[in-house]
Amino acid sequence: MPMAFRPITAKDRELIDAARETLRRRYRPHRHTVSAAVRTSSGRVYTGINIDASPHGPCAEPVAMGAAFVAGERIASIVALTKRGREFPVLPPCGSCRQLLMDYTPDATVLLTDRGKVVKAKARELLPGPYLSA
């Protein structure tokens, strides 16, 4: 059964803009190529960038989530994007980030693309058969 994605709102577009601005400022080929932004339940926005390291550094989503968690916040929504030429397309979270979202904030709204259109879904809807610790 296909997932029922929901359309994004003006607040969701603001979150995309925050991630885009972070990547515009911090983009470094082969170092920082993805940014993420999270909106918390208080309404504050935190951003982060990926950290490319050998063999593999953290994605942008856990960096942004960590910034919010350090401030004592709860994640309400999240988006990640990359830079391709002059475009900043929204990215779906990787499998590892989907599990992280499931572990820490399963009810958060995740912005992602579906057939070229930005949509949203709950984090728990994006990972069929997640690992759940006892």
DSSP H/E element including 87: none
Active site residues: 61
Contacts of 16 (CB under 8 A, 6+ apart): 8, 37, 79, 81, 90, 111, 118
Spatial CA neighbour of 127 closest among 110, 57, 114, 78: 110
Cβ atoms of residues 77 and 88 within 8 Å: no
Burial of residue 19 (number of CB atoms within 10 Å: 0-12, 13-18, 19+): buried
Total residues found in the chain within this entry? 134
- Cα separation, 43 vs 109, in Å, equals 13
